Structures are given as structure tokens and as C-alpha cells.
Structure 1
Amino acid sequence: MHGTILILLKRYIQTQYDHSTWVNLLELAGLSGATFDHKTVYPDENLYALVDQAAAATGATAGELHERLGEYLVPDIMYMYQKLVDPTWRTLDMLEHTEHTMHRQVRREHAENAPPVLAVKRLSPNEVQIDYVSARRMGGLAVGIVRGLAAYYDEADRIAVTPTTSADGQRVSIYVQRN
């Protein structure tokens, strides 16, 4: 897992709760005193352990936390990759082009990151079908990112996001429609 995701998880926890909650989660996850660097790739188990502990502490499911984290990540992701984003794109355009812009860049610069493979099919001007494939089984994060993109583009009230398979599988299908 790319360190940036773990750093943003830390910020999310500190923003939604407080710093002591983050410190407690690190301890409960067996990562006491751990610090994360945005240039380093860490074992996926670090994120899983932290999210599992956060779920236990908050009463939310791990999937719900993945979705919330995905929404939270979007402004930072968009800032990091702004050079790759066409300023005329909106939510569905961004989804359609993510695999061939941002994910391609990540794979080229950081092959060890292995972002999910997204097969996105534009069904109509107002619909896309996303097939998410990743051994990480974090489709909830992808669902959250889609919702976060809709908010980022001021379309949250017009974008419906529907996972059509379980969001915790290796293969997750997500239907997105603009009303």
C-alpha cells in the first residue's frame, strides 16, 4: 500500500476523531510508533489492520470505512494528478479516463504499488460501468472514490453509485449514472 494512502488515513482519523484515536489505532493494530512516508510502499496488512481496528472502535464496518476514506482521498488525489486531468472532464469522464491516465502513471513510476485494474465502459453519455479488479479486495474504497469525485465535481446530487456485486470481492462491478 502506498504510504500516501496511510498518511491520508491518519489525517482522516485525526480529522474525524482526534490524534489520540490515531495513536490508539496504531497500538491496537500492532503498529505502535509507526510513521509512514509518502514515498514508501508498505504491506497492505498495515492498512487492513488499521481499518479493522477503526471499525471495531467506531461500530462501522470495514467496508463503510473504506468508502468514507475513498471519499476523503479525492481532493488530495486530484491535486497530486492535476497535470493528467483534462479541465473539461466531469465525474463520468474522470472515471472513464482514470485507468489510462493516473493508474498508468502510478504503474510507470511505482510498479510496486499495483493499483487496481479498472475496466470502464461508457454505456451512454450519462452512464458508466466500472469493473474493479484487485487482490486487495478494497472495492469499497473505489465506491467511495466515485462518490468523492461526484462531490469534487459538484455533481453529488446527480450521480448515483451502485455496486452491483459485493464490494469486498476481488472483482467488483460498479454502475454509475448521472441523472
Structure 2
Amino acid sequence: MHGTIFSLLKRYVQTQYDHSTWVQLTELAGISSLDFNSKTVYPDEHMYALIGYAAQQTGIPAGELHEKFGEYLVPDLLYMYQKLMRPEWKTLEMLEHTEAVMHTHVRREHTENAPPVLDVKRVSENEVIIDYVSPRRMGGLAVGIVRGLATYFDEADRIDVQPTTSEDGERVQIRVRRN
């Protein structure tokens, strides 16, 4: 997983809890470095361990932590990819174009990185279905990102996000409707 995601996880933990919690999580996970290089790809196992220990420490299920972290990521992700976005895009349009625009860019720029594959089908003007496919099994992160997009675009009260399969599978289906 890309170092930027780890750096953002560190900031998330520090803002939601404190720096000592981050230090404790890295120690429990057996990760010697407290800082992650944004140009480096790290083993997915680091993320699993950090989230797993965070779940143990907080009593919040790992899937829920993935969702909360996904929501938190959105402003930074949109800032990083703002040059690839169109100003008229809102939540559903962002979802519809993420694979072809952002993920294609990530795969081209960082060949060792492997974002999930998103097969997004526009069902109607106000609905998309996302098929998330990744051996990482972090569908909860995707659900959180969808919710974060709705918040970012000031549509949270109008967007319904419904995973229709288990969020910890390799394939997760997410239905997103604008009311």
C-alpha cells in the first residue's frame, strides 16, 4: 500500500486520539518506522496490523475503523487528484470516473501500487452500483470514501450508501443513491 495512505493514517490517529496512540500502534504492529515515505509502497500487512491493533485498543470493529478512515481520506485524495477532476462532478460522477481517471493515473505513475478495481455502473441519473474488487479486502474503506465524498460535496443528507455484500470480501458491491 502506498506510503501516502500510511502517512494519512498516522495523521488520522494523531487527530482522533494522540501521538502516543500512534507510537503504541506501531510498536504493537512491530513497525520500526513511525514515518512513512510517500514515494514508497509498504506491505499491506502493515495496514492490517495497525487497524487490527487500533480495533483492539478502541473496541471499535476494524471494518468501522476502515470506514471512518475512508471518510477522513477524502479531502486529501481530492486535493491530490484535483487536476484530474472536472468542476461539475459531484458524488456520483466522482464514483463513476474514479477507475478510469484516478486509478488509471495511479497505476501508470506508480506501477508497484495496486488500487482496487472499481466497476461502476450508472443505473440511473441518481444511482450507481460499485463492484469493488481487491485481494486487500478493504471494502469498508471504499464505503467510507463514498460517504466522505457525499460529505465533501455537501450531499451527505441526500446520498444513501448501502453495501449489498460483506465489506470484508474480495468483491464488495455498494449501491449509492441520490435522493
For the residue of structure 2 that corresponds to 1:115, the secondary structure is: coil
One-letter amino acid of the structure 2 residue matched with residue 127 of structure 1? E
Deviations 1:118-162 (CA, angstroms, capped at 9, x unpaired): 000000010000000000000000000000000000000100000
Q: CA deviation at 1:16?
A: 0.3
Quick check: 2:2–2:41 contact (8 Å CA) kept in 1?
Answer: yes
Q: CA deviation at 1:112?
A: 1.1
1:1-179 matched pairs, under 5 angstroms: 1-179=1-179
Provide the C-alpha distance between the structure 2 equivalents of 1:158 and 1:98, rounded to a whole number of angstroms: 20
Provide the C-alpha distance between the structure 2 equivalents of 1:105 and 1:64, rounded to a whole number of angstroms: 28
Provide the C-alpha distance between the structure 2 equivalents of 1:83 and 1:33, rounded to a whole number of angstroms: 32
For the residue of structure 1 that corresponds to 2:112, the secondary structure is: helix
Task: Say what the alpha-carbon RMSD is for the aligned residues.
Answer: 0.6
Q: CA deviation at 1:34?
A: 3.5
Unaligned segments of structure 1, at least 5 residues: none
Deviations 1:98-117 (CA, angstroms, capped at 9, x unpaired): 00000000000011111000
Runs of 4+ in structure 1 off by over 4 angstroms are none
Q: CA deviation at 1:53?
A: 0.5
Deviations 1:1-30 (CA, angstroms, capped at 9, x unpaired): 000000000000000000000000111111
One-letter amino acid of the structure 2 residue matched with residue 12 of structure 1? Y
Provide the C-alpha distance between the structure 2 equivalents of 1:71 and 1:35, rounded to a whole number of angstroms: 22
- Given the two structures, how large is their TM-score scaled by the length of structure 1? 0.99
